[in-house]
A = this chain, B = another copy of it.
Amino acid sequence: MSREITPRPLTAEAFAPFGDLLDTSRGPDFLINEGLCGRHHDRARLEFGGGAPGLSLFDAVPRSLPYRFDLVERHPRGSQAFVPMCLCSFLVIVAPDAGGTPGTPQAFLTAPGQAVNLHRATWHGVLTPLEAPGLFAVVDRVGAGENLEEYRYPEGWVVVP
C-alpha cells in the first residue's frame, strides 16, 4: 500500500533545505536596458565539482496526479537547475538525507513562472511535468566521474491532488 503525500505550493522558505526557488516575487535586484528589464541576479547556488557547467534541454512525458513513485536519485557532485519553457506547473519531489539514504519525501507544486535549482546531493524524484510540453532547460554538471545515486523506497509513495 502506498503512502500519500499532498503537494504544497512552492515557496523559497519551504524549499530552502533542498534548493533555490527562482521567480520574480522578490522584485529585481537591478534594472538594465534603460529600465526596460529587471535582473533577478544570480539566484541559484550552482556547483559543478570536478566538472563544468552545462546547459541542456530535458523533454519529459507529462504526468498526472495521483502520481506513484518509489525511486529517487541525487547527484553528489553538482547542483541541477530546472527551468520550465512554458508557463506551466510542475511537481518537485525532494527528500532530506537521513544518513546516506533519503528520509520521507516531500512534494511541491510550482506556479507558472517558477524555476528551481536543486542543491548538490539533494535527493529528488525524476522530472515530473504536469502539462505538455514537458520542456525544461537544465543547468547541471557535465564531465567524467560518477554523479548519480539512486534509491528505491521499499514501499511506494503516491502524490495525491
Chain A positions near chain B (C-beta within 8 angstroms): 22-24, 28, 32-34, 36-44, 46, 48, 52-61, 81, 83-87, 113, 115, 117, 126-127, 133-135, 137-139, 142
Contacts of A22 in B (CB 8 A): 55, 57, 137
Which secondary structure dominates where chain A touches chain B?
A: strand
Sampled A-B contacts (11; CB under 8 Å):
A28-B59, A36-B61, A37-B127, A38-B60, A39-B57, A42-B56, A43-B55, A46-B52, A55-B117, A83-B137, A85-B115
Cα A39 to Cα B41 with chains together (Å): 27
> A59 touching B38 by the CB < 8 A rule?
yes
> B60 touching A33 by the CB < 8 A rule?
yes
Q: How many copies does the complex hold?
A: 2
Return A76 CB to nearest CB of chain B, in Å.
17
> A23 touching B115 by the CB < 8 A rule?
no
